[in-house]
Every structure is written in structure tokens, then in C-alpha cells.
Amino acid sequence: MRGRVHIPGRHAIDWMPAAGFDPASTGQGVAPDGSGADVLAVADAEIVTVKTERPPGAHPNVEDETGAMIVLRLVDGRHAFYQHLAPGLSLRPGMPVRRGEVIGKVGASGHVTQPHLHFHVADGATPLDSEGLPYRFGAGRIAGQYRDIADFDAGKSWQAETPRPIDGLPPANAVILFDPTPP
């Protein structure tokens, strides 16, 4: 693996719905746990990897951890990873995508305990042989924060604060609001 240790998810975020989440705000047929929510391309890009879930009865391996996955090659050469997607991915490698285009649905594939979207950016297209890279948000506001992950897991309310722009990566347990995309 290129002779060095990699931390692909160094700057990863696991996206899950906060208490009070409105399933109708993220697409049609979205469950209260967030499964089925639309997953959008973060930028204009090319799809370089589409990995579906391991077929039933297939011998498991470490690469199954990601579940169903899409990797985009961004115009600057970095790669955006979307993992644990719902089954039924219809996109194929080589296809172009536009920023904001629906590329999948939130799922619970791979090694997970609940539906969520794992997202990170890396310097390569392979999940285990790439280094995670920092990235900046071009949209969204921090609306509050959970005291800790145990409060989130228990379904407790989060502490609202004056919404502010995201400067770099959001803090742990932050609640992020995204304005709807105009029609």
C-alpha cells in the first residue's frame, strides 16, 4: 500500500438525522431514522467507483466495511467517498455528475449499527490505500450541538444556538442545517 500507513477517514463525517428531523425534507420515502434520504454530489465530478453490497453467502473481507459505496473524482484530483449507501445504485463508473445531483440514498450497508452516510475526501480512489484530506463546506449552517454522542444515541434534544456558517469542518456532535436547493 504505497509503503506508508493511511488514515482514509481522517476528516470523515458520519451524517445522521438529529432529534426533530423532518423526513420529508430530504426526499420522498424517507424513514424517521434517515434511511432513504437523498445523497447529493458535493461537486461536479466523475464517478470512478460504484461498489454494491456483498452478495448473500459471499466470503466477507475487510473491504465489505464500506457497504454500498460511490467514489467521485473531483476536478482538483481529490476523491469524495460516500459509504453505507442503500442498495440499488444505478450509476456507473465514468458517468459525470453535477453538484447537487442525487447519486444515492442513505442506507445501512456494510458494518454499521444504524443508517447513516459516511462521507470523506481523500487523495486516492481506494478506501484502504488513500489518505484523508481536509475540506471546506460551501453550504450549511451550524444550528446547535448535542452535549455528547450519548445524548444523540438516547434521542435527547440538542442545544440550539444562533446559526453560524461552518468554518472548516464542523465540531463533533454539531447539528447542521442545509437550505433547500432552489427549484
Handedness of CA 30, 87, 138, 161 (dihedral sign): positive
Q: How far is CA 83 from CA 19, 52, 69, 93, in A?
A: 23, 10, 4, 16
pLDDT (tens digit per residue) in 50-65: 998 776 777 667 777 8
The pLDDT-based confidence of 182 (bands split at 50, 70, 90) is very low
Average of per-residue pLDDT across 124-142: 89
Does the global pTM surpass 0.75? yes
pLDDT (tens digit per residue) in 92-112: 999 999 999 999 999 999 888
Burial of 89-105, coded b for 16+ CB within 10 Å and e otherwise, reads bebeeeeebeeeeebbb
Q: Which residues contact 61 (CB under 8 A, 6 or more apart)?
A: none
Between 76 and 23, the higher pLDDT residue: 76
Q: What is the mean pLDDT of the chain?
A: 89
What fold, for 1-135?
Answer: Glucose Permease (Domain IIA) (2.70.70)
What is the Cα–Cα distance from 70 to 52, expressed in whole angstroms? 9
The pLDDT-based confidence of 3 (bands split at 50, 70, 90) is low
What is the Cα–Cα distance from 125 to 139, expressed in whole angstroms? 24
Domain boundaries, the chain: 1-135, 136-183
